[in-house]
Amino acid sequence: LVKETVPNPITQALLSIYYPQTLTLRQYALSKLPKTSRIRRKKIAALGLSSSFPSPSPAPAPASEKPSAAQALEQALGTLLDTTLVCSHDPPDITSKKEKSDYRWEQWVGFSQGGGGTKGDESHVTLSDGLKGAMYSQSDIVDFVIWLLFSRGSRSASFREKTKTGNGWPGPRHLLCDGFRKGVPPQGRSGEMATTAGHQHQIPGVYAVHQNNCVKVLKEAPWPQFLMLLGKEGERIMLDLLLDCAVFVGVKEGKGNLVQVSGIPVSELQPRSLGTDFAARKDLKGTGGASGENQELSPSEITFARNRMLYARATLNAKGLVHFGLRHIHVLNRFPCQKPAEGEEASKPDESTTHVMMYIFPRQFGLHNVFTSVVDRQQTAQKFQDYTLREDEIAKKFPKPTEGERPKVKIPKRLRGKTQELVHKLQVLHKRCSCAEMLQYYCPVSPLARPSKSSQKNRRNLRPPSTAAVITNSDSQSYSLLDLATPISSISAFCQAVLSKIIPNDFWGSSDSEEGHPQEHNKSVFLKQIDAFIRLRRFESMTLHNLVQGMQLSSIPWLASPALSLHKCSQPELNKRKEIYLEFLYYTFDSLLIPLIRSNFYVTESSAHRYRLFFFRHDVWLSVTKPALTCLRVKMFEEVKGAEAVKILEGRKLGFSQVRLLPKGVGSNLRPIMNLRRRVLLRASGSKGIRGKQKQILGPSINSILGPVNSMLKFEKRQRPGRLGGGMFAVGDIYQRVKGFRARIMSEEKGGGKKKKFYFVKVDVQAAFDTIPQEAMVELLEKIPGHGVYKESKHVEVSLPLDYEHNPANNDDTNIDNPKNKLKPTKRWHSTTTSFPSVTTTTTSTTSPSTSILPQQDSVATTKKNTLFIPSHSSTKLHTSSSLLSLAKEHITQNLVKIGKKYYRQKTGIPQGSVLSSTLCNYFYADLERSQGGISRDGNTLLMRLIDDFLLITTSRSKARRFVEVMHRGFAEYGVSVSAQKSLVNFDVCVDGTRVSNLRRGSTKFPYCGLMIDTRTLEICKSGTETGTGVENKRDTVVFNGITVEYSRNQGRNFRRKVLNAFKIQSHLLFFDTTHNSFRTTLRNLYSAFIETAIKMWAHARCLSSTTTQRKRKPGTALVIDTIKSLIEVAYRLLTSKSRKERYPGYQCSVSKGQVAWLAMVACRQVLVRKQAGYREVIRWLEGEIEKV
């Protein structure tokens, strides 16, 4: 009997989402070898059993017993057999499997010119016998697999089945084909095209475009040795392995990580649960002709695009007055009712009503719809398409008839009669509804922004109220700009009133039936969901399932088929009614409610309220922002003529950005925000729409175009970190610097020096991004690149949520195949840049099967855990430093911004919101540090800078005083001026006769970037924990503004994940390193983290229990207790994990698991006791467990 190694359970669970069968390479080889090869099977089963799965590299032998080459090779093979996983889909029937295998073998024999299959079965083989022949055979097999996949073309099912479509994969969807092209290579090719790492590819009709490291690894040791170990059947087994399976090899960096080297990329596969779910819903087929054979989405998978209602521009008429109500391009305004009330024409179908019905029920007319149609990613970046305008689609589907022909639009039978009458009535009611009057009634203007009487003469086109005087008043700090926002309750009342006025009541059902009053009930549910929708926070969403839940569909007469109105409703009939009603409900929210909010309110968040949204009437917002925009145009921008702007945009890749103003929450301050992540519509060359207009497609965003420049700067930052001076990119960077500085000081004190006192100075640069001189920035930028050519590579990372390992439900193997318990792996693209040729040498060690598959693999995978890495060789690009510099210079000096209908050029500073801004700012101020003698550093001085926040810690009072004086004088050549009000010190100092703010008497905690640094010991704690109360007294509104709740299926899993993530984001090692912080401070930090986590847990549960759906979804006692247990387990593992100690040498957290458990339970009890309604059993359990501990 042979003891088999067990793969990492979490990684295996991740693979089982996509593959029904996962084996180690050892298990796969034994399952393929014939039972008659007993000696060979025994050899493979016993080879390298000393190696273990979590560690791909074998244990080193003692120096006195250096292993021989044969022993090292056996260890490498053993590692390969146990750390490589082979995944496959459901096997086909035996007959087709044998036919496919025989066909492949014939093709292989022909490809290798008869070289394959002529070897005998050598049962007594050694690893050194025939090594050269095995290497040639393995290389030929890999080349043959590539040739066979390309020769199949698009007809091959091996790389086409179960994959996504439309991703632009340049060839067969197989990792071995990535980087290759079919055909003859063009003449005069250069670079890394003809060879891959020194291996000449002799593949007929196929040539290499990019280096494929997967091909390289599979051709090198120990894969040829593994092929030879398989004997006579080796070539057949290797062909099946590379063509039918996905192969993942272990990565020694990190924990439980795998990199895919063969097969269909996991990033291109759909989870198996989705396929199961689709099969279960096959009876819900619709008539959506635009969908073809696309998968139908369930109501729980369809979310309303709430972000479309954010930051909308007001619609103005010719007089510059705000137009309220739905926009003029809305279908109800473009196609008002034309049907007369009486006469012969009244009996004929109204074309305008039919046109509106196409917008409400597109699936029934065979048009593009949200249920079955594929979203065109060239037209929208949203999850679902915007259906405001679909005239081109309708014109293509139903062309206008010529004279004498009948209209080609045929109304579906299910929509004739009563449904048609209700849609016509909807048109009539909309025409009669005065949105401006209702807006003035439900959402009157605040007294601070009340318009003059003269502006109220025209209610539909209200003049912007004059609040400029209020903004510029000396009393501007006595009120907040957010006071001008309309209350949420008023917004909800307005939207409910308008939709109640527009939508006929008969749409909700009959007024009276045997089941009660379904019309009143359904309408009440609908209006409650409107209120819930408006009250959602910034990143929360609502699904169609939430909207329809609780409604009674069986008592809605217009849904019933006329032929079946008197019969009992069957299941297919009920499904059809639900299909039609879901279309109607989706239209009410997506095309009525959201456009209604957009056209009447400017919706935005504020910098002080996290995810809470504020609704400003458009007329109020225009008058509030007009002075700020005017000031912005004068100080930062210069106008560019329209013709010149168009010429500039047509001659470059970079487009234009747009500016929005963000309320700061205090006073009347507004912060300009440039949106450089927005994708804009571009004209597609050579393609025209139905009406002869040039077709438009979404282009890349400015930040996407600047991606290579950002990757280059990151690479240079890693190569030469000293050039950034004291610059930091995250608050966590403070840890290593403060810890190292404290260690130096303590070593001097232990060497005989006296106890030293620390002097702290904090200064803040005013408007850092907006004051940097562009010429100086460009001059400095040219000195950053250290190489002539850079190579940009991309890969995908796939992983499971944090809570999976600690979720008891995941112990059930059937959980993954259950569509109701779908796991949602995260897929993220990452870009890595290196110099070209690479500055790092590539090794070909036989002990590491995953050598150099990913660029900079040691840094990429070290911080990851239980992650799948999928390389993308076809995404590799080469960039010269001159081209990258040219792009960056153009971005800095020619940043075009569109405000209203005019273009402006930013004349000072660097663009905020740019992916380069933080890095450029750090390099620029690092140059300031080097050039100015007043900002000096030595062994007794530590200078840190997070973008524009400087912090100096020194043992010299004179240096601290000099730093204050130098920084307060400013540096005109660098555009630096310090905000005196934000400066802070821990000693007495005056600048120009003005005293700089000091810590309050007796305080030893110095605030910096949300942290508190002890001025005596340099211990670090989170802001708010210095008083010992942590965040217990944090106001509920602050907590609720900072959370995001998911109102969807799997709420128990989502609740657990949110709670664990709430602790994870607070678990940075700077709070819990007992070699830097005292044990008491560490425990206080841990208690504070648990308090904040418990408050967020209560807030999430409160939000779930207050939902407006018919069923309350408050987490039960068992779920809360299990979540607290998982929190304790996750917290202890995070703080004391071996991977954290390996990544940060010197880190140590000496807190025991019992102490972690006690602090967590005490913190949870402390929070829940104050909010104990509904938590009696949880509190009782906590008290019992606290006594045990």
Instruction: Give 266-310 pLDDT, tens digit per residue.
Output: 988 888 765 444 333 433 333 334 434 457 899 999 999 999 999
Tell me the CATH number at 978: 3.30.70.2630
433, 530: one domain: yes
237 or 128, greater pLDDT: 237
**How would you classify the pairing of strands 789-799 and 867-880?**
antiparallel
- Residues ≥6 apart with Cβ < 8 Å to 980: 968, 991, 994, 996
856 or 873, greater pLDDT: 873
Which pLDDT score is estimated for 275? 46
240, 299: one domain: no
**Mean pLDDT in residue range 685-708:** 75
Q: Is residue 691 part of a domain?
A: no
Q: Tell me the residue range of the domain where 1170 lies.
A: 1029-1188
**Mean pLDDT in residue range 458-471:** 40
pLDDT exceeds cutoff 50 at 178: yes
Which pLDDT score is estimated for 751? 72
CB-based contact 866:11 (threshold 8 Å): yes
pLDDT exceeds cutoff 50 at 476: no
Which pLDDT score is estimated for 495? 97
CB-based contact 426:364 (threshold 8 Å): no
**Mean pLDDT in residue range 902-930:** 91
CB-based contact 850:251 (threshold 8 Å): yes
C-beta neighbour count of 1140 within 10 angstroms:
19
Residue type, 904: Y
Instruction: Give 726-752 pLDDT, tens digit per residue.
Output: 899 999 899 999 999 999 998 888 877
C-beta neighbour count of 444 within 10 angstroms:
12
CB-based contact 302:207 (threshold 8 Å): no
Q: How far is CA 860 from CA 252, 703, 796, 833, 854, in A?
A: 12, 22, 11, 11, 8
Say what percent of the chain tops pLDDT 90. 45
| Residue from 100, 18, 452 nearest 267 by CA | 18
Q: CA 274, CA 295: separation in Å to the nearest integer?
A: 9
Q: CA 885, CA 876: separation in Å to the nearest integer?
A: 19
Which pLDDT score is estimated for 95? 53
Q: Is residue 621 part of a domain?
A: no
Per-residue buried b or exposed e for 264-276, using 16+ beta carbons within 10 Å of the residue's own CB = bbbbbbebbbeee
Supply the DSSP symbol for 589: I
Q: Side-chain half-sphere of 879: how many Cα atoms within 13 Å?
A: 28
Q: CA 601, CA 618: separation in Å to the nearest integer?
A: 5
Tokens of 864: 């990851």
Q: Is residue 1159 part of a domain?
A: yes
- Mean pLDDT score of the chain: 82
Tokens of 331: 């279908």
Q: Is residue 824 part of a domain?
A: no
CB-based contact 1027:1021 (threshold 8 Å): no
* Lowest pLDDT segment from 5-14, 502-511, 688-697: 688-697
Q: What share of the chain is helix, strand, coil (3-state, %, to 5)?
A: 45, 15, 40
Q: How far is CA 610 from CA 350, 369, 539, 1055, in A?
A: 49, 34, 11, 20
Q: Is residue 866 part of a domain?
A: no
**How would you classify the pairing of strands 1005-1008 and 1011-1014?**
antiparallel
CB-based contact 207:170 (threshold 8 Å): no
Q: CA 1089, CA 1064: separation in Å to the nearest integer?
A: 9
54, 143: one domain: yes
Tokens of 566: 């008197």
Tell me the CATH number at 609: 1.10.132.70
Instruction: Give 599-620 pLDDT, tens digit per residue.
Output: 999 999 998 899 999 999 999 9
389, 526: one domain: yes
- Residues ≥6 apart with Cβ < 8 Å to 912: 672, 673, 674, 769, 770
Q: CA 340, CA 40: separation in Å to the nearest integer?
A: 89
**Mean pLDDT in residue range 481-498:** 95
- Residues ≥6 apart with Cβ < 8 Å to 49: 2, 3, 78
C-alpha 955: how far from its chain's center? Answer: 44
Query: In the structure, what pLDDT confidence band is assigned to residue 108 with cuts at 50, 70 and 90?
Result: confident
1023 or 414, greater pLDDT: 414
Which pLDDT score is estimated for 94? 54
Query: In the structure, what pLDDT confidence band is assigned to residue 1021 with cuts at 50, 70 and 90?
Result: very high
1118 or 809, greater pLDDT: 1118
Q: Is residue 844 part of a domain?
A: no
Q: What is the pTM of this model?
A: 0.85
| Residue 681: its H or E element | strand 681-688
CA Rg, the chain, in Å?
A: 34
| Residue 92: its H or E element | none
Domain boundary (242, 270, 298) is at: 270
Q: Is residue 890 part of a domain?
A: no
Domain boundary (237, 270, 303) is at: 270
Query: In the structure, what pLDDT confidence band is assigned to residue 116 with cuts at 50, 70 and 90?
Result: very low
DSSP 290-302: TTTTPPPPPGGG-
Q: CA 412, CA 361: separation in Å to the nearest integer?
A: 10
Domain boundary (556, 589, 615) is at: 615
Which pLDDT score is estimated for 863? 79
295, 263: one domain: no
Which pLDDT score is estimated for 153? 60
Query: In the structure, what pLDDT confidence band is assigned to residue 459 with cuts at 50, 70 and 90?
Result: very low
Q: CA 376, CA 379: separation in Å to the nearest integer?
A: 6
**Mean pLDDT in residue range 308-327:** 90
Q: CA 947, CA 1145: separation in Å to the nearest integer?
A: 27
**Mean pLDDT in residue range 230-242:** 89
Using the structure block, give the residue that is written with the tokens 């005019």: 902
Q: What are phi and psi of 539, to 5 degrees?
A: -110, 15
Which pLDDT score is estimated for 187? 64
Q: How far is CA 333 from CA 243, 321, 357, 431, 797, in A?
A: 57, 19, 14, 8, 47
Most confident among 205-209, 357-361, 727-731, 1020-1024 (mean pLDDT): 357-361
569 or 30, greater pLDDT: 30
74, 220: one domain: yes
Using the structure block, give the residue that is written with the tokens 């959370």: 1043
| Residue from 1067, 942, 1085 nearest 1021 by CA | 1085
Q: CA 984, CA 951: separation in Å to the nearest integer?
A: 9
**How would you classify the pairing of strands 657-663 and 896-899?**
parallel
Q: CA 51, CA 849: separation in Å to the nearest integer?
A: 14
Which pLDDT score is estimated for 1142? 83
Say what percent of the chain tops pLDDT 70. 79
419, 537: one domain: yes
In this structure, what is the dihedral angle of CA atoms 1046, 1049, 1051, 1053, given to the nearest 10 degrees?
-110
> What's the structural domain count of the chain?
4
pLDDT exceeds cutoff 80 at 143: yes
485, 592: one domain: yes
Which pLDDT score is estimated for 162? 37
Cis peptide before 837 (omega within 30 of 0): yes
**Mean pLDDT in residue range 1154-1166:** 95
672 or 754, greater pLDDT: 672
520, 601: one domain: yes
Going through 57-136 in order, the beta strands assigned E by DSSP cover 85-88
Query: In the structure, what pLDDT confidence band is assigned to residue 569 with cuts at 50, 70 and 90?
Result: confident
Sign, CA dihedral 43-44-48-50, equals negative
Tell me the CATH number at 1137: 1.10.357.90
CB-based contact 306:383 (threshold 8 Å): no
1049, 1158: one domain: yes
Which pLDDT score is estimated for 280? 38
89, 204: one domain: yes
291 or 952, greater pLDDT: 952
Instruction: Give 698-717 pLDDT, tens digit per residue.
Output: 888 999 999 999 999 999 99
| Residue from 6, 31, 176, 1 nearest 83 by CA | 6
Q: CA 701, CA 679: separation in Å to the nearest integer?
A: 4
212 or 938, greater pLDDT: 212
Q: Is residue 412 part of a domain?
A: yes
Q: CA 108, CA 523: separation in Å to the nearest integer?
A: 68
Query: In the structure, what pLDDT confidence band is assigned to residue 696 with cuts at 50, 70 and 90?
Result: confident
* Lowest pLDDT segment from 18-32, 86-100, 1129-1143: 86-100
**Helix ranges (DSSP H) in 540-593:** 544-548, 571-587
1174, 1053: one domain: yes
* Lowest pLDDT segment from 153-167, 717-731, 869-883: 153-167
Q: Identify the three-state secondary structure at position 250.
A: strand
Which pLDDT score is estimated for 688? 56
pLDDT exceeds cutoff 80 at 880: yes
Which pLDDT score is estimated for 347? 54
**Mean pLDDT in residue range 439-468:** 58
